[in-house]
Structure 1
């Protein structure tokens, strides 16, 4: 024990009296604007992320994803488009230097270099500054990427007549579709579930693999024939069951369509 100014008390002789507890450096010792990661920085990041998440959820509620009609390989007027976040790549492939014999350049090389630059950014700019004008390389790459994506997306979107596309590609059922209640206790529902549901949907509404079974004008005998022999792109022998179950399936589909007609 030392008396006077700077007195120190040691309760355990195995601990060095001069040992100092590790403390991080003061933020003033680092260049630029710095702050504690927890909770200051992390709280700001969480708040910004929450604002964008709420805004995105409001956007999905106000403008839900549009449903289009079933794919028709005979419709040559249909213009396939990727989702909006891939429109800039879709537009890139329209230019001569990225299409035709240069398809590999536009589809692989240019996007690969662009996205690869994101991984190289930490190695190209190793400065400790956070202010944009003090980080010219990172700022330039960010502005170049933003301008390119924004412009290509705008060019792709402006070339599409969205009103005409929405009119030509309406959903299988409009918003005022008839409310048909599917009776799962019907004897014909079990064979439908075993042989048809995977393609035609749980409520006969149709999927991308097969059309809807509501609104069709077939008799029970015709439905039985189609289930066994197929029709159009539907192959034969899709139904797996007895003759009695086949009859129950046909009667079930007919009864659902009769209910839809009444609605």
Structure 2
């Protein structure tokens, strides 16, 4: 059989005849000035990013972020602050041109333009020069952005006593309390819910951010009834709304839970 006999050659009009396989340019004539994006330049970027991420992870393990206590909406002395990497935006919203009726400008427009410009920078700046002094606009904007972020972050944090803030907002660890199984079918528990006791003291009577727990108390039935009606400490009076019989059921329920907790200790 002759070579090629019985074979047919088909052409595809979608493939141009002069199409050549992509081959990176030879940059040996320009050492140190430019290089192929793939894989040379991109590999360097990945290596630098990996070193940064590993270093950052080691830093967070060695110095973990401190936790604060449970949020308390009744604490008017608490100074809420965002995380450190958002402090510059927090400071920006303090200025007149970015607050009050101009809040949208400071919260959305200015950050949107800044981060949008950063995202679109490779598409907007298509110059062939890579030296900073040959790209005055891009270099100037970068330096201005760095100065603005560092200055705003400093201004936001300079007036805060961080040691005092950390000391005043240490987490309040719950007391070691025995686990008590709450009988939710008890009539006293229904009254506990109806009178909004559950909102402050919790569904399991262990307390919450606004009130202490009811487990471990040494109060008797009469004392609990008096507190439910007349209040105590930060708890206002007239919290209980019901009959004397219902008040008795509520007090008996709380006492029974404490008796069960005492038995399990």
Measure the CA separation in 1 of the matches of 2:153 and 2:28.
44
Counterparts in 2 of 1:249 and 1:189: CA distance versus 1, 3 Å: farther
Measure the CA separation in 2 of the matches of 1:66 and 1:212.
24
Partner of 1:143: 143
SS of 1:28's partner is coil
Deviations 1:114-166 (A, max 9, x none): 22322442343111333333333332222221211111011111111111111
How far 1:25 moved relative to its partner? 4.2
Contact 2:97 2:106 in 1 (8 A): yes
SS of 1:69's partner is coil
TM-score by length of 1: 0.61
TM-score by length of 2: 0.61
Contact 1:205 1:213 in 2 (8 A): yes
Contact 2:216 2:258 in 1 (8 A): no
Contact 1:125 1:137 in 2 (8 A): no
How far 1:181 moved relative to its partner? 7.1
Measure the CA separation in 2 of the matches of 1:140 and 1:89.
21
Partner of 2:113: 113
Measure the CA separation in 2 of the matches of 1:33 and 1:217.
76
Contact 1:92 1:152 in 2 (8 A): yes
Deviations 1:48-80 (A, max 9, x none): 222212222222222222222222223221111
Measure the CA separation in 2 of the matches of 1:29 and 1:15.
40
Deviations 1:182-233 (A, max 9, x none): 5xxx7549999xx98xx9699x685x7x7674876376976xx99xxxx88x
Partner of 2:81: 81
What are the equivalent positions in structure 2 for 1:127-166 lying under 5 Å apart?
127-166=127-166
What are the equivalent positions in structure 2 for 1:1-263 lying under 5 Å apart?
22-28=21-27, 32-35=33-36, 37-38=38-39, 40-173=40-173, 182=179, 187-188=181-182, 213=213, 217=217
Question: Unmatched 5+ residue regions in structure 1?
Answer: 1-9, 237-246
Contact 1:69 1:169 in 2 (8 A): yes
What number of residue pairs does the alignment pair up?
A: 225
Measure the CA separation in 2 of the matches of 1:21 and 1:134.
34
Deviations 1:89-112 (A, max 9, x none): 111112232223433332233222
SS of 2:27's partner is helix
Measure the CA separation in 1 of the matches of 2:254 and 2:215.
16
SS of 2:80's partner is coil
SS of 1:81's partner is coil
Counterparts in 2 of 1:216 and 1:82: CA distance versus 1, 3 Å: farther
Contact 1:188 1:248 in 2 (8 A): no
